Structure 1
Amino acid sequence: MSERPLRTLFCIGNNQNFFDLPKSEIRPIWEGTMEFLSALAALDGVDVIGTMDDDAHMVGPSTGWPWTAYVLADVRDQPTVREACNLLRTIMIGEHALWRYFAIEARMGRELVIRTDVETAS
């Protein structure tokens, strides 16, 4: 990546459509989720730093904070962030796009560098 990448937190939430499914129909959604995560990591200009799934403590729909899952990545630029979010529109689960079941929000900033060369006041 050239220049400084955007430190990006992709926030992902399950919506009510996901929870309305019978358990027997969740597997294709899980497979679509894995396709999304693989496609995100494979995007040119995306370097995934880590992921976090909060489904043990966040049960039920999440259309805002707190989200269900997070992906932290360094991303080349805003168009690439947009392309990553757009994956929810292009990955299909049967005749529905993945966004029928999940919401995504991207928070962009810069890496917060913790300096060790500066003395702190005691």
Structure 2
Amino acid sequence: MSGHLEKFEKSLSEKYSRNVVIVCQDMPNKYVALAVHVAAKGINRELPMEKIVGRIVEACTRAKGHSHWNCITAPRFGFDVSYAEEYMLQFKIDNHSFLLFRTKEKCGNGEED
């Protein structure tokens, strides 16, 4: 693991008083931080996981300006998904695992790939 990633994880863990682990990242750090922020805030408020997932997808849609976002959460899981380059993140907060990605589908409504 690179020193930069370790520092990034440590800063996120300290910020939210949670154990944050970035498992796999193909996304700029500012969007990783956004997803972790939304998830940690929901966990801290003890929101249902369905609501947390919805908020993560909504936040990414607003921040990145396009849809086709998907988020999966479970205690543990494996995956093999096709995603748009620079639009995938797998992370853990304590015992919650998250997979966030944007599909490669053709965009509508004037969205750019």
TM-score by length of 1: 0.28
- Structure showing greater radius of gyration is 1
Instruction: Point out the structure with the larger strand share.
Output: 1
Instruction: Point out the structure with the larger helix share.
Output: 2
